[in-house]
Amino acid sequence: MSSQPDPHGTPAGGPGTENDLAVLVLRLAAPLQSWGDRSAFNRRDTRPQPTKSGVVGLLAAASGRPREADITDLVGLRLGVRIDQPGTLLRDYHTVSDYRGRPLPQAGVNAKGMQKPTSPAKDTHVTQRFYLQDAVFVAALQGPRALVESLAEAVRHPAFPLALGRRSCPPTQPVTLGSLRTGTLADVLQAEPWQAGPTARDAYRRSLDRGGQLATVDRIDLAATLDDPAGNDTWQDVPLSFYPHGRGFTTRRVSHRWLSVPTGLTAPPNTAPPADADRAGHDPFALLGW
């Protein structure tokens, strides 16, 4: 009998050998994404990177699973997320009012189960939604090969529409990055080329050019977060169920690190910095003749 999946990231059925496991690599990019780990009526925040609940939800949708379906096999997958392009935070400002001009009700109800009117009367309610705009992430999921192969096929031919955190945030293509990989999450994420868009790539090249370091344009250091039972951080974003009347979450341990990643860029000819580049910086006393 197989063991239950560990919310800290041990694949269902035990750790297995490298030949038993496979890694699915996803590119999570869109004009808008939102990865909330808590919800309130008047404010929906987003984390700066995908949550495990959001990625598991995407895989469940691709597989055609209804909300009440068992997701323990998906939760048991180990997850690693690399931030290729952090994007910027967007606040979507909303106001809510009754089209009939009546004051808004409050959340509390009376003895008859009817919502009480606001006191003093409130005609408009302010709500806010937060999104990441123009962000790009690479997510790697490791688990039993048969399961990961079925998920890869499901993402390529999803049963339900895919979304990056919310239904209003469909992903851009491609979502899957080629065939399945083998190895550790860190190794896979470090080997996968940089997925940032043209604007971010041009900005990176210009920053190296200004600093006289264009010869190092072939690699970039990117932040990553990986499931790690020995990690020094705890996130409460592991879903127990997506059933609307029985949703719940538990914690996982993660570790954070920097990965040196190939950019896919090459330096133009004759751009190697001079041997004395470290001493050739700006001299603030040069104009004084010192």
Give 51 or 267, the one with higher predicted confidence: 51
**pLDDT over 60 at 220, yes or no:** yes
**pLDDT over 60 at 273, yes or no:** no
8-state DSSP, 87: -
pLDDT at site 290 = 59
Residues above pLDDT 70, as percent of the chain: 85
> How do residues 81-138 score in pLDDT, each as one tens digit?
999 999 999 999 888 888 888 888 877 788 888 888 887 888 888 888 999 999 999 9
Q: Could you state, in order of their start, the residue ranges of all structural domains in the chain? A: 18-89+131-195+222-262
Q: Give the residue from 3, 28, 30, 29 showing the smallest Cα distance to 14.
A: 3
Give the integer Cα–Cα distance in Å for 155 and 173. 11
Give the integer Cα–Cα distance in Å for 273 and 214. 8
φ/ψ of 242, rounded to 5, equals: -100, 5
Q: Give the residue from 23, 3, 40 showing the smallest Cα distance to 177.
A: 23
Give the integer Cα–Cα distance in Å for 137 and 140. 10
φ/ψ of 66, rounded to 5, equals: -70, 165
Average per-residue pLDDT in the chain?
87
Give the integer Cα–Cα distance in Å for 168 and 155. 18
Count of other CB atoms within 10 angstroms of residue 216:
13
Q: 18-89+131-195+222-262: which CATH topology? A: Alpha-Beta Plaits (3.30.70)
Beta carbons within 8 Å of 223's beta carbon, 6+ residues apart? 82, 83, 256, 257, 258, 259
Least-confidence region, from 18-27, 156-165, 226-235: 18-27
Give the global pTM: 0.81
